[in-house]
A and B are shown apart, each in its own frame.
Chain A
């Protein structure tokens, strides 16, 4: 059985040490989870392992033999493959052409033509291995995220794969796709492949991983057998303090009606949608990806025009034509994709935080810079956003800090209704707690929150009520005792009663 070992790995960037003595061992045929907060050094460690970075100290041993990986090609040759969070496929090419890249020589025919027939057979065999029933000629752009992931795995299987690193593979997958992925991981295990699995979702690790190594501040905290360790202990090790309650829901005491959707429709929502949010209430929307959750948020916040039905805000009928109008009326949206929709990545923290509230600190159209600095400093402090200076580009912040920056930007507007789309995706346990606290603070101040989340325990744990969506329609509303995973999943899966 093969064995991959990292010993005393150290790495620093321009004087800031990111990895300080990390020890990490993976055996062939095991799923070894890597757990740690954002910024704990997981990605750096994996980049060091695959030769993207060179370690300052320490060694990498493969079956006891020291290795030097200067580039990612070196590690690939040694049988180590990595599947990044943002998949690295060419969407404009077909599945088989994607598999061809890097292996062109194997399929070179006369005059440098590609031997497509042979490539197709090769691709079919690989797709069968990963259980993807698609023609190899299908363009990758037509595949869903889950299917693309399978193509990535197929790609990794082309070489003599011994270790596979997966970075947050289930972040964008539906429940079924996740199950399928776990099946394939189990297959790989029996073939002797060692899997390094990075995920923030503890439930997943307990479901399919064998061992877990916890990183904190660039150091190995410990390696545990998942069958013998409690979830609370892992969280505590990861965060460095004990977290009593992962979902600190406060007492429910809904007030007057804040938002009322009465059979609204948009171009993207053909079925009329009705739901309500009261002051001092956190209301959830659950369902699979593509069930229409984001579309509801888009309708409420004026991104999509409402074409039918009635929306009422504080009892008054109102339709927004642009996000700007929603914002002026106290409705703010924290978007799903902070990198694409929430932040100007190359711009500074100050610029980003100030953007929605520029009008509040101006005189005759001129920005009052000193006031702005005070304002930004106050919010950075209030939300404990870790920054070096006010004009640091937000692209350099960790995921959790970026998300807090998005929150700060919107909380500063003091919205009456805050719509959150996947507020904790890709955010570590510590930052999650802080975001939950912020939500509870808003709730206590009698604001309304509408939260979309794919994280089921979070949805059921934080919300006072949850609407369930399927096929662009609201199919149920859960309150009190009904807020249970099984009830939820039955609704999500539909009345035919598909299990899980």
Chain B
């Protein structure tokens, strides 16, 4: 069973099991349109979770992604309404996300504040700024050319899914194949050891939070385009879904251990559960309870495994 443990197949096994159960109990699950729907529904959370993986690998946490998502989308939406091209507005939104992340990163790395507290603060701050900026009102009447980002399809596959796949491949290559990825893992393993080995740990920490912020902004653009609206309450609670996906994927909250493949599997597990419970007509009251149970069971199984060493 060592290969099972080495490649951390627990999450994958859970996903396969879940898909199997739903395939048997629901006739609609295994249709192409439903599977694409799962992928589409998962994409926003997956984007956030990819950024969150970077942060958690350094033994940090980013609670501000939901608010960053709302803030950057609100700005982008307002600019588009004001006549700025969607491309320009989109790029500006990504920059806003990056700046938000940089603010988190600087406070964590240079001011040596606890990531949980810093991002708890910025979470509330960015949400407040969004509400001030939008006056609490949703922003409508976005240009039609912005529609394609969330609702279009290429080769029959929704654009958000393409975006997620591309982001995933790049992020995966960075974390598992590059020198920078090695250093991120090293910082998470023991920041002091990494620093003494010449790793510019503070800079890397800032970059990691920027990645999370930029991906939050990207997820925000996708969400805004899909809904054709920028809501001031958009992304509320999304940070927890992203963290859940990362943890379900087997990444340690202590840092230094985990993979992006696991994170994607974790995000898919959450997506499949949501989708399946809808297909099975489970009342939305029960959905959260079931989701919570699945998460607890998954984490307990993972815990059993890691105790084995």
Q: Does A93 sit within 8 A of B, measured CB to CB? A: no
A462 to B194, CA, bound (A): 30
B193 touches A367 (CB 8 A): no
B182 touches A342 (CB 8 A): no
Chain A proximity of B185: nearest CB distance (Å): 8
Which of A323, A344, A362 is B189 in contact with, Cβ under 8 Å? Answer: A344
Given contacts A346-B257, A347-B189, contact A358 B183 (CB under 8 A): yes
A159 to B70, CA, bound (A): 63
Q: Does B179 sit within 8 A of A, measured CB to CB? A: yes
Q: Does A142 sit within 8 A of B, measured CB to CB? A: no
List chain A residues, Cβ under 8 A from B199. 324, 355
B194 touches A355 (CB 8 A): yes
- Mask: chain A, 337-358; 1 = CB below 8 Å from B; 0 = not: 0001111111100010011101
**Partner-binding segment picked from A80-88, A109-117, A327-335, A425-433:** A327-335
Q: Does B85 sit within 8 A of A, measured CB to CB? A: no
A341 to B178, CA, bound (A): 24
A358 touches B182 (CB 8 A): yes
Q: Does A366 sit within 8 A of B, measured CB to CB? A: yes
A327 touches B198 (CB 8 A): yes
List chain B residues, Cβ under 8 A from A322. 195, 198, 200
- Mask: chain B, 166-190; 1 = CB below 8 Å from A; 0 = not: 0000000100011110110110011
Chain B proximity of A406: nearest CB distance (Å): 10
A: number of interface residues (CB 8 Å): 27
Chain A proximity of B110: nearest CB distance (Å): 13
Q: Is the interface of B mostly helix, strand, loop or mixed?
A: helix
List chain A residues, Cβ under 8 A from B177. 366-367
Q: Does B11 sit within 8 A of A, measured CB to CB? A: no
Given contacts A354-B182, A359-B179, A367-B179, contact A347 B197 (CB under 8 A): no
Which of B178, B186, B192, B196 is A367 in contact with, Cβ under 8 Å? Answer: B178
Q: Does B256 sit within 8 A of A, measured CB to CB? A: yes
Chain B residue at minimal CB-CB distance from A362: B179
Chain A residue at minimal CB-CB distance from B195: A323
B179 touches A365 (CB 8 A): yes
Chain A residue at minimal CB-CB distance from B173: A366
B195 touches A365 (CB 8 A): no
A341 to B182, CA, bound (A): 17
Q: Does A446 sit within 8 A of B, measured CB to CB? A: no
A190 to B199, CA, bound (A): 55
Given contacts A344-B186, A344-B190, A347-B256, contact A366 B198 (CB under 8 A): no
A351 to B199, CA, bound (A): 14
A323 touches B197 (CB 8 A): yes
B: number of interface residues (CB 8 Å): 22
Q: Does A438 sit within 8 A of B, measured CB to CB? A: no
List chain A residues, Cβ under 8 A from B179. 358-359, 362, 365-367
List chain A residues, Cβ under 8 A from B180. 365
B257 touches A341 (CB 8 A): no
Count of inter-chain pairs, beta carbons less than 8 A: 70
Given contacts A323-B197, A356-B197, contact A341 B256 (CB under 8 A): no
List chain B residues, Cβ under 8 A from A333. 196
Chain A residue at minimal CB-CB distance from B181: A367
List chain B residues, Cβ under 8 A from A327. 197-198
Which of B182, B197, B256 is A409 in contact with, Cβ under 8 Å? Answer: B197
B200 touches A324 (CB 8 A): yes
Chain B residue at minimal CB-CB distance from A364: B178
Chain B proximity of A410: nearest CB distance (Å): 9
B200 touches A346 (CB 8 A): no
A356 to B200, CA, bound (A): 12
Chain B proximity of A331: nearest CB distance (Å): 11
- Mask: chain B, 145-180; 1 = CB below 8 Å from A; 0 = not: 000000000000000000000000000010001111
List chain A residues, Cβ under 8 A from B192. 340-341
Chain A proximity of B101: nearest CB distance (Å): 21
A355 touches B200 (CB 8 A): no
Q: Does A186 sit within 8 A of B, measured CB to CB? A: no
A346 touches B256 (CB 8 A): yes
Interface positions of B from 52 to 93, Cβ below 8 Å from A: none
Q: Does A46 sit within 8 A of B, measured CB to CB? A: no
B193 touches A324 (CB 8 A): no
Which of B178, B189, B194, B197 is A346 in contact with, Cβ under 8 Å? Answer: B189
Chain A proximity of B102: nearest CB distance (Å): 20
Given contacts A341-B193, A343-B193, A344-B256, contact A323 B198 (CB under 8 A): yes
List chain A residues, Cβ under 8 A from B200. 322, 324
Most buried by A among B177, B179, B194, B197: B197
Most buried by A among B178, B183, B193, B200: B193
List chain B residues, Cβ under 8 A from A341. 192-193, 196
Q: Does A390 sit within 8 A of B, measured CB to CB? A: no
Q: Does A303 sit within 8 A of B, measured CB to CB? A: yes
A327 to B196, CA, bound (A): 9
Chain A proximity of B225: nearest CB distance (Å): 32
List chain A residues, Cβ under 8 A from B186. 344, 347, 351, 355
Chain A proximity of B301: nearest CB distance (Å): 20
Chain B proximity of A192: nearest CB distance (Å): 42
Chain A residue at minimal CB-CB distance from B196: A323
- Mask: chain B, 192-213; 1 = CB below 8 Å from A; 0 = not: 1111111110000000000000
B195 touches A355 (CB 8 A): no
Chain A proximity of B207: nearest CB distance (Å): 13
Chain B proximity of A412: nearest CB distance (Å): 11
Chain A proximity of B178: nearest CB distance (Å): 5
- Mask: chain A, 276-304; 1 = CB below 8 Å from B; 0 = not: 00000000000000000000000000010
Chain A residue at minimal CB-CB distance from B200: A324
Chain A proximity of B189: nearest CB distance (Å): 4
A409 to B190, CA, bound (A): 16
Chain B proximity of A362: nearest CB distance (Å): 5
Chain B proximity of A76: nearest CB distance (Å): 26
Chain B residue at minimal CB-CB distance from A324: B198
B178 touches A366 (CB 8 A): yes
List chain B residues, Cβ under 8 A from A356. 197-198
A482 to B186, CA, bound (A): 45
Chain B proximity of A378: nearest CB distance (Å): 19
A367 to B183, CA, bound (A): 11
Chain A proximity of B264: nearest CB distance (Å): 21
- Mask: chain A, 307-329; 1 = CB below 8 Å from B; 0 = not: 00000000000000011100110
List chain A residues, Cβ under 8 A from B190. 340, 344-345
Which of B178, B189, B193, B257 is A365 in contact with, Cβ under 8 Å? Answer: B178
Chain A residues near B (Cβ < 8 Å): 303, 322-324, 327-328, 333, 335, 340-347, 351, 354-356, 358-359, 362, 365-367, 409
Q: Taking A358-B182, A365-B179, A409-B197 as given, write out 8 further A-B residue pairs in contact, using a Cβ cutoff of 8 Å, ordered by the A residue number.
A: A333-B196, A341-B196, A342-B193, A347-B186, A347-B189, A351-B185, A365-B178, A366-B178
Pairs A-B, 9 closest by C-beta atoms: A324-B198, A344-B189, A327-B198, A356-B197, A355-B197, A358-B179, A365-B178, A362-B179, A323-B196
23 contacts between A and B (CB under 8 A): A322-B200, A324-B198, A324-B199, A333-B196, A340-B193, A341-B192, A341-B193, A342-B196, A343-B193, A344-B189, A344-B193, A351-B182, A351-B185, A355-B186, A355-B193, A356-B197, A358-B182, A358-B183, A362-B179, A365-B179, A365-B180, A367-B178, A409-B197
